[in-house]
Amino acid sequence: MPKLLIADRDSTERTGIKWFVTSHQFPFSQVDEAATVEQLIEHIEAQCPDVVMLELEMIPDGALAQVTHLLKTYVRRVICLTTEPVFERALQAIELEAASLLVKPLEPGRLKRALRQASAVLGPDDSSGYVCTASLADRKTDTSTPPDALAYTALFIDHALEQPPALLLVQPEKAAYNKELFRWLERFPFLVPASVYALSDMVACVLSVHEKGPVENEHELLQQEGKRLLQQWREHHQTRLNVAIHPSALPAASLHEIYLRSKEALKLQFYKGHQQLFWVDEQPPFVAIDPFLTYL
């Protein structure tokens, strides 16, 4: 069953909403509370609630980007609460992709309707497996030191692979940003276990997409990860990236071969520019010609 988090600075509001949920027997297996934005962030990272009821005034400007990212990535339904029925709050709710915006003092009828719609969409047998198959804290641990992590040197030396990984080769618009890019990617909440390696002018992200079992929609998952990288880096650093994607489904003898193919794919930025995803398995063939001896 889905889980609900009530994030509001007012303890009376939290207690009242929790009582309302319990008394009307909405199908939530767990109802938790957060009184501060720090508690909100910590709870989403640790528990991945399916539904969050969020007081918009709780979020300071400095935490808005992080909270927005967490809600969009790990929460399935957001119900916004506000004491200010103004256009600015409506825009904020739209940005958070909220299912409802309720104005305090809360009307029981509207609150009931919003909770019913959220629980009906999720279903009584649904859970946080939508995105959060494990807690974000666990994924952060996996990102730094995933089980059976491939050695750094395997990028440059041929070494046979039992289970080929996927590779995201990320290159910043300017080489001066590479160090910052590496640090940023180390903290990035990948959806699957990942190892991050800094290179001279790019960063390699080795994704163990099949570590926890077969993945049927690998292309969709990698596409989503690539788009998130482009968008979030641009939002936080006002510079652009290019990402070469080598899916694990594409046969390869070694990580070194995967790396060389991905590096070759990045050369197409000369034709397409920046802020692009380059799929290794979709690259056009190139033929070397002598322009002085070839008839056109």
pLDDT tens-digit map of 79-103: 999 998 777 888 888 888 888 889 8
Helices (H) and strands (E) in the chain, counts: 10, 10
Q: Residue 289 — very low, low, confident or very high, per pLDDT cuts 50/70/90?
A: low
| pLDDT above 50 for 141 | no
| pLDDT above 50 for 239 | yes
| pLDDT above 70 for 262 | yes
pLDDT tens-digit map of 161-174: 777 889 999 999 98
Percent of the chain with pLDDT over 90: 38
With 0-12 CB in 10 A as exposed, 13-18 as middle and 19+ as buried, what is 85?
exposed
Domains belonging to the chain, first-starting first, are 3-130 (3.40.50.2300), 136-282 (3.30.70.270)
Across the range 223-236, mean pLDDT stands at 91
Could you say which DSSP state residue 149 is in? P
Helix (H, G, I), strand (E, B) or coil at 9: coil
For β-strands 241-246 and 166-172, DSSP reports them as antiparallel
The mean pLDDT of the chain is 83
Cα(123)–Cα(129) distance, rounded to whole angstroms?
A: 13
Query: Under a CB-based contact definition with an 8 Å cutoff, are residues 212 and 229 in contact?
Result: no
Q: Quote the pTM value.
A: 0.48
pLDDT tens-digit map of 173-223: 988 888 889 888 988 888 888 888 888 889 999 998 876 556 678 888 899
Query: Under a CB-based contact definition with an 8 Å cutoff, are residues 148 and 208 in contact?
Result: yes
Per-residue pLDDT at 128: 41
Radius of gyration of the chain (CA): 23
Query: Under a CB-based contact definition with an 8 Å cutoff, are residues 280 and 263 in contact?
Result: no
The pair of structure tokens assigned to 187 is 């903290």
